[in-house]
Amino acid sequence: YKIINAKVSESCPSNIALIKYWGKYENQIPANPSISYTLSQCKTNTEIEFFAEKKFSVQTFLAGKEEVKFGEKIEKYFKNIEQYLPWILKGKYIIKTENTFPHSSGIASSASGFGAIAKCLMDFDDFFSGKSDDDSKLKKASFLARLGSGSACRSLYDGLVVWGETKEVADSSDLFAVPYSTKEIHSIFKNFNDWVLLIHEGEKSVSSTVGHGLMNTNPYAERRFREAHENFSLLKDILKSGDMKSFIQLVEHEALTLHAMMMMSEPAFILMKTGTLAVINKIWEFRKETNLPLFFTLDAGANVHLLFPSNKDEDKIKSFIIKELVQHTQNNDFVKDVMRF
């Protein structure tokens, strides 16, 4: 390889899992397969300037403000991936990054953040080691993003994306994510709204690293990992047939299971807030009364992702959300996104 000063910039969206990844082994190997929707609007934009120098260093800025802790995290990450990018410690990096969505919103900024950094690294690799073809470049970016934050590897592709080996998806791997074949997806699932209600914008009381770790001693963990595999088989059929009712049931069950696992850890964590529960109950009442397909999923936090298809009923759902659900947020705040493919 031949290194030179260079500057690259990339953008990467966040994602929200339908079947959740929670629990991992050494080297970011997931304990079970997961599948997510890549968002469209919620992105991280990252610019990296590289100066070929003897001394390795990383300086990071988030929305114009220097973030020393984040810089240290990236330094550690770069050292960890040197075996895959032999030039990576040969200089100084200035990383400028910004999110198009609020910080601590429960939208995974680590997924979009590491996705964008991994893409930038592959751009440098093109300069330094010679251009690779687009497919293998994306695959390697997904592989590298995984080593930063597991769920980040799914953000490299649009639409529905699978990470973790499952017999249901032929080319699936624990090492990188793969796009789920659009031929296997009923048209009913191809255009979805995702409105994130910002119930609580404070820091999470458990980091995902600690959370994954607690699965090692959780007495329900093995059953949960098996269930994720079982849910994959169910979801595959649901995606093909367009069975919205079963889809809703499965997606909500996965979200509640993620939180149930945290509640059954030692020590236990409850990341839902009063507002989270109020919103869930109201969604269930609304579905009972109207039969309209409004449902939720959760990440490792209090905020609620409201999912509903883009179709003739969406206006009724939107006005219900604004009239009845938004009041449970911290600052009458929410983020709108869509998932298309």
Binding ligand PMV by CB under 6 A: which of 110, 166, 172, 193?
110
Q: Which is nearer to ligand PMV, 60 or 109 (by Cβ)?
A: 109
What is the full DSSP assignment across 80-97? HTTTTSTTTTSEEEEEEE
- Single-letter residue type at 141: A
Sequence-distant (6+) residues with CB within 8 A of 197 are: 275, 279, 303, 304, 306, 321, 325, 326, 328, 329, 334
Residue selected from 10, 12, 14, 20 as contacting ligand PMV according to rule CB under 6 A: 20
Query: Cβ atoms within 10 A of the Cβ of 133, count?
Result: 8
Report in angstroms how near the CB of residue 131 gets to ligand PMV at its nearest: 29
Q: Is the peptide bond prior to 33 cis by the omega test (within 30 degrees of 0)?
A: no
CA distances from 26 to 175, 213, 216, 227, 277 (A): 12, 11, 11, 21, 34
Q: Is 118 in the site for ligand PMV (CB under 6 A)?
A: no
As measured in angstroms, the least distance from the Cβ of 21 to ligand PMV is 3
The DSSP letter of residue 166 is -
- Does position 259 bind ligand PMV by CB under 6 A? no
Choices 1-9, 20-28, 90-98, 243-251; region in contact with ligand PMV by CB under 6 A: 20-28
| Residue 99 engages ligand PMV in binding (rule: CB under 6 A) | no
Does 17 help bind ligand PMV (rule: CB under 6 A)?
Answer: yes
Which helix or strand (DSSP H or E) is residue 119 part of?
helix 109-129
**Residue 108 interacts with ligand PMV (CB under 6 A): yes or no:** yes
Q: Hey, how many other C-beta atoms are within 10 angstroms of the C-beta on 51?
A: 16
Residue with tokens 């075996």: 83
166 binds ligand PMV (CB under 6 A): no
Near ligand PMV by CB under 6 A, which window of 19-27, 86-94, 191-199, 280-288? 19-27
Does 261 interact with ligand PMV (rule: CB under 6 A)? no
Quick note: the x/- pattern for ligand PMV over 282-311, rule CB under 6 A, is -----------------xx-----------
x/- letters, 21..50, toward ligand PMV (CB under 6 A):
xx-----------x----------------
CA pair distance 232, 20, nearest whole angstrom: 11
Q: Which residue has tokens 């367009």?
A: 242
**Other beta carbons within 10 Å of 110:** 19
Q: How many residues bind ligand PMV (CB under 6 A)?
A: 14
Residues 6+ apart with CB under 8 A from 159: 37, 38, 179, 180, 182, 339, 340, 341
> Residues 180, 168, 293, 248: what is their CA dihedral angle, to the nearest 10 degrees?
-140
Interacting span for ligand PMV (CB under 6 A) from 15-23, 89-97, 183-191, 233-241: 15-23
Render 248-260 in DSSP notation, one character per residue: HHHHHHHHHHHHH
For residues 48 to 87, the per-residue mask of contacts with ligand PMV, x marking binding by CB under 6 A and - elsewhere, is ----------------------------------------
Q: Which is nearer to ligand PMV, 258 or 317 (CB)?
A: 258
Residue placing its CB nearer to ligand PMV in the complex, 116 or 258: 258
206 lines the binding site for ligand PMV (CB under 6 A): no
Binding mask 123-152 for ligand PMV (x = CB under 6 A): --------------------------xxx-
Rg (CA), the chain: 20
- Residues at the site binding ligand PMV, with contacts judged by CB under 6 A: 17, 20-22, 34, 108, 110, 149-151, 208, 258, 299-300
